[in-house]
Structure 1
Amino acid sequence: MNLILKEGRSIVLVSFIAFVVSYLISDLYFYFFLLFLFFIFIFRNYERELEDYSDDIVVSPADMTILDIKANEDKSNIELLCKKSVFSINSLRAILKSSKLDYKINKGLIYANDENAKYIEFNFNDKVSMICINGFFTKKVLVIKDNDLLKGNKFAFFMDGFIKIVLPYNSKILVGLGDKILANTKIAEIGEYND
């Protein structure tokens, strides 16, 4: 098992070398050691067990907090708005199984929470999508894998920002406002449910 995400290995290595060099030639080694520990914490790789493999269950893509749950005006979709912190695990997981993940990038403003924001939209199928709006530390969402995704597989690197999950209106939401949820936790069930 890899303890450090591949995307952060070079940064962790450089910070370790800086610590060793500072230990040998300077009294500032303690600060470089703290920096090394900080990068290990940011780029740690922790596996989350998948709770349910059924096709109608949507799982959380990351450790995050639910900020808003609302239906759009024409009642065709339900949107879950979530906040992901830089201090949680920084990989995104597939919320559904997908043979080919379609995605588009909007090169807008950094750290804006509106239609002018810099974001990337992932379409898992014709009904379910996920929009990642870049936060302060995320300059770019790095897509690692975009085909033959199983539910719960890591497919992108995303440090912080907002995640909006768009579901069909007839979905049963399994989380509430303010909930802090872990990656691969059940958040919704797609099916025929009453209003």
Structure 2
Amino acid sequence: MKKTEIILKEGYPYIAISGVLFLVSLLFKFPTILQLLFFVIFVFFVYFFRNPARIPEDDSENAIISPSDGTIIEIKESISPITNKNSIKISIRLSLFDVHIQRSPIKGEMSAREYIHGMFLSLNSNKASELNEQNRVLFENEKNQIVVNQIAGFITRRIIMFRDLGPIKLGERYGMITFGSQVDVYLPKNITLKVSEFQKVKAGESLIGYINEAN
């Protein structure tokens, strides 16, 4: 079994550079305020690139688990990218202090991907979800087609994929966005939602809904 990283390797350069700066500030007796600043930056990077273990609240076949940490800022009907189907769109806003890893909302297949090169507008802009850099991934199985869209923000300049398309487990990590971002989830219309706007969710853990097979 592959050992789970406590800290993502993607964070090593940030942690190493900030750690060296902190040590240099101590060795050369920089002003205390600078020493404190470099220490805070070092601790922040260690915290930001953490990779906590997650257990889904429900791992049944009809359950859909949140692909991202953050706060749900909007739930509305929308057309899903990739599939172009009428869907329920859940927008999840991540703060700098949320875990920024994205995980599969279902067990099945990562079957398609679209990377859109765009702008880096503030996520408070109404046009950000349309014009910003984004990475769309289709997850599907015999019951579901779910699109998860990673959207870069003003500070964010990097969307990372940890793996290629293919079979994927429920809650398996597949990518991340660095330093503040938004994730939009497009769900089938025949879903019973278990979340509401302004609710906090966790990737790979929080139940967001069930597919209603009666519809």
Matched, 1:134 2:164: no
Matched, 1:168 2:188: yes
**2:11 paired residue among 8, 11, 24:** 8
Deviation at 1:68, TM superposition (A): 1.3
| Cα pair distance change 1:30/1:140, threshold 3 Å | closer
Deviation at 1:193, TM superposition (A): 5.5
**2:82 corresponds to:** none
The amino acid of 2:48's aligned partner reads I
Matches of 1:12 and 1:58 in 2, distance apart?
34
Matches of 1:68 and 1:85 in 2, distance apart?
15
Matches of 2:53 and 2:158 in 1, distance apart?
23
Residue 114 of structure 2 aligns to a residue in which SS? strand
Residue 50 of structure 1 aligns to a residue in which SS? coil
Contact 1:51 1:186 in 2 (8 A): yes
Deviation at 1:51, TM superposition (A): 1.9
Matched, 1:100 2:134: no
Matched, 1:23 2:29: no
Deviation at 1:71, TM superposition (A): 2.0
Contact 1:172 1:193 in 2 (8 A): no
Matches of 2:184 and 2:146 in 1, distance apart?
11
Alignment TM-score, normalising by the size of structure 1: 0.89
Contact 2:110 2:137 in 1 (8 A): no
Matches of 1:173 and 1:76 in 2, distance apart?
16
**2:124 corresponds to:** none
Matches of 1:3 and 1:69 in 2, distance apart?
32
Deviation above 6 Å: which 4+ runs of structure 1?
none
Contact 2:120 2:128 in 1 (8 A): no
1:48-82 CA-partner distances (Å, limit 9, x unpaired): 22222222211111211111111238x93111112
Q: Aligned residue pairs: how many?
A: 194
* Structure 2 unaligned spans of 5+: 80-84, 122-126
| Cα pair distance change 1:79/1:193, threshold 3 Å | farther
1:1-195 correspondence runs (5 A): 1-27=4-30, 28-72=34-78, 76-111=86-121, 112-125=127-140, 127-146=145-164, 147-159=166-178, 160-184=180-204, 185-192=206-213
Q: CA RMSD in A?
A: 2.1
Residue 121 of structure 1 aligns to a residue in which SS? strand
1:79-102 CA-partner distances (Å, limit 9, x unpaired): 111211121112111111233342
The amino acid of 2:115's aligned partner reads I
The amino acid of 2:161's aligned partner reads V
